[in-house]
Chains A and B, each alone.
Chain A
Amino acid sequence: MPEKLLNDLIIGQIREAFTNLKEPVVILFFGSRENCDYCDDTRQLLDEVVAIDEKLTLNMYDIDTDHEVAKLYHVDKTPGIVIAAKNGDQIIDLGIQYSGIPSGHEFSTLIQDILLVSGRDSGLNPQSREYLKNLQKLLHLQVFVTPT
């Protein structure tokens, strides 16, 4: 067993935040055996997060051997994380994903994303919703961030 990445204090804080979880969430992790410095740590981190609440599950894939799944969810980098809604056995892709290890500041982004998907509400204002629901083509947003 490797040493845990999350200490008891942080787990306690996440558990408290997760009291606001509503619907089930599934996290899809895409790793790679080659050229992926952060895959092991990312997988372990996600493992520890989903263990905190039973509404959360983790599916693990390899971007090479499971390339069909990766393609389906538009994952082209590792570590790749898709935060999706779960309805029974059904995975509903909401187009929310993260590429890289969600550490530092980005760890709270991960937790917020999980809560957002669990609540099944984007929180966007009516004007944005009205415009976005009428999009005719795929809209791809890439938000570049750093852990610090």
Chain B
Amino acid sequence: MIRAEGVEAMEFPELSDRYGVSGVPQTTINDGTGTVVGAVPEQNLLAEIMRAVAK
């Protein structure tokens, strides 16, 4: 039910551009429904996941 993919931003610039990646790490949830910029604590990531899934 969960797919977690690390993406090398420079090798896939079209994808990085699509999600407006300007700094790393940046996490895109469900094709742009949610976004987390930077390395955040687990609970913050979970909160954004919950927000994105509920949309």
Q: Which residues of A are interface residues toward B (Cβ below 8 A)?
A: 37-38, 74, 77, 95-102, 106, 109, 124-125, 127-128, 131-132, 135, 137-147
- List the A side residues contacting B1 at CB < 8 Å: 95, 132, 135, 137-139
Label chain B's interface by main secondary structure: mixed
Q: Is the CB of B27 within 8 A of A143?
A: yes
Of A101, A106, A140, A145, which one neighbours B3 at CB under 8 angstroms?
A140
Q: Is the CB of A144 within 8 A of B42?
A: no
Q: A125-B42, A127-B46, A132-B2 are in contact. Are A137 and B11 (CB under 8 A)?
A: no
Q: Which among B11, B25, B26 has the greatest number of chain A C-beta atoms within 10 A?
A: B11
Total A-B pairs in contact (CB under 8 Å)?
A: 115
- List the A side residues contacting B43 at CB < 8 Å: 125, 127-128
Q: A131-B46, A135-B53, A140-B30 are in contact. Are A146 and B8 (CB under 8 A)?
A: yes
Q: Is the CB of A97 within 8 A of B3?
A: yes
In the complex, which residue of chain B has the Cβ closest to the Cβ of A113? B6
- List the A side residues contacting B12 at CB < 8 Å: 77, 99-100
- List the B side residues contacting A141 at CB < 8 Å: 2-5, 27-29, 49
Contact with A along B34-53 (1 / 0, CB 8 A): 00000000110010011001
Q: Which among A97, A127, A137, A144 has the greatest number of chain B C-beta atoms within 10 A?
A: A144
Q: Is the CB of B8 within 8 A of A143?
A: no
Q: Is the CB of B4 within 8 A of A143?
A: yes
- List the B side residues contacting A138 at CB < 8 Å: 1-3
Q: Is the CB of B7 within 8 A of A142?
A: yes
Extra contacts, 15 of them, besides A95-B1, A132-B1 (Cβ < 8 A), are: A99-B8, A100-B12, A101-B11, A106-B6, A106-B8, A135-B1, A135-B53, A137-B1, A140-B29, A140-B31, A142-B15, A143-B26, A144-B15, A144-B25, A145-B8
